[in-house]
Amino acid sequence: MISIKNVNKSFGAHHVLTDVSLEVPKSNVVALIGPSGAGKSTLIRTINALEPIDNGEITVDGISIHDKKTDINKARLNIGFVFQSFNLFPFLTALENVTISPMKVKGLSKEAAEKRGKELLISLGLGDKFDAYPSRLSGGQQQRVAIARALAMDPQVMLFDEPTSALDPEMVTEVLDAIRKLAKDGMTMVVVTHEMGFAKEICDEIVFMAEGKIVERAAPDKFFTNPDTQRAQDFLSKVLNH
């Protein structure tokens, strides 16, 4: 579903992604983990071309994302993206946040967009928040609205860039539950996360990055109990022993 081939990217002299290749089959969930500055966020942002690449190729559902001939607006309809800082539209209600793109981009009628939007918000436990503005919602609620907003475009792929990092601890669970549910429904997902327990539980594969490179790829059980590389062992000993 997602195919990343030999992607390189640098900011000036600083190499943020070095020869990164990764395949994510349909319905698989991949966690990107690693120390900060490893290039995880940059990598996930290249998958929907929020971040340009220097060379290499990324395809999603067979469509080459960084090809100049590709209509990127159309390609992005297939790729939901959830940000660390939610990025909800503050002047729109929760429901309007979810319906604006289906209406303005897909040309859905207000009725159709609202019907679908309400279904999504209800399924994410936000049935009583249709008319609430983002400033009136908790972080966890805002992030669930952001997930509903992305799902409203009916994407085949969902990308999560540290979806729980900006949340108070007690709100992490509700957002992880929402992602867990998507995994169960067979959504193809890439998640940048620091929630190791969560990664272990729902992911099909762990991709460990450091210094702009993929250092290790493994099944969760293997990775968390017996990683091959010293770099991954060092990282795990730091994040798991506290």
- Write down the least CB distance from residue 16 to other proteins, Å: 17
Residue 132, SS3? coil
Question: Which of 10-18, 57-65, 78-86, 217-225 is the region at the interface with other proteins (rule: CB under 8 A)?
Answer: 78-86
Count of Cβ atoms closer than 10 Å to residue 164 Cβ: 24
Are 199 and 193 within 8 A, CB to CB? yes
In terms of DSSP bridges, do strands 14-24 and 188-192 run parallel, antiparallel, or are they unpaired?
unpaired
- CA dihedral 187→170→225→178, nearest 10 degrees, is -10
Among 14, 68, 73, 169, binds other proteins (CB under 8 A): 73
Shortest distance, CB of residue 76 to other proteins, whole angstroms? 5
Distance CA 1, CA 24 (A): 6
Nearest to 210, CA basis, from 64, 18, 25, 57? 18
With respect to other proteins, which residue has the nearer C-beta, 104 or 110?
Answer: 104
Q: Which tokens is 9 given?
A: 């990217």
Q: CB-wise, 90 or 197, nearer to other proteins?
A: 90
**Number of residues near other proteins (by CB under 8 A):** 27
145 CB-contact burial (10 Å; exposed 0-12 / middle 13-18 / buried 19+): buried
Those residues whose C-beta lies under 8 Å from the C-beta of residue 118, and which sit 6 or more positions away, are 95, 127, 130
- Give the nearest distance from C-beta 135 to other proteins in angstroms: 6
Among 40, 76, 116, 129, binds other proteins (CB under 8 A): 76
Interface segment toward other proteins; rule CB under 8 A; list 88-96, 118-126, 162-170, 192-200: 88-96
Residue 48 binding other proteins, by CB under 8 A: yes
Length of the chain: 242
Contacts to other proteins from residues 99-118, by CB under 8 A: 100-101, 104-106
In the complex with other proteins, the residue whose CB is nearer, 36 or 73, is 73
Question: In whole angstroms, how close is the CB of 87 to other proteins at the nearest point?
Answer: 4
Q: Return the half-sphere exposure (C-beta side, CA atoms, 13 A cut-off) of residue 152.
A: 33
Q: Which of residues 152-211 bind other proteins (CB under 8 A)?
A: 153
Which residues lie near other proteins (CB under 8 A)? 48, 50, 73-74, 76-77, 79-81, 83, 85, 87-91, 100-101, 104-106, 133, 135, 146, 149-150, 153
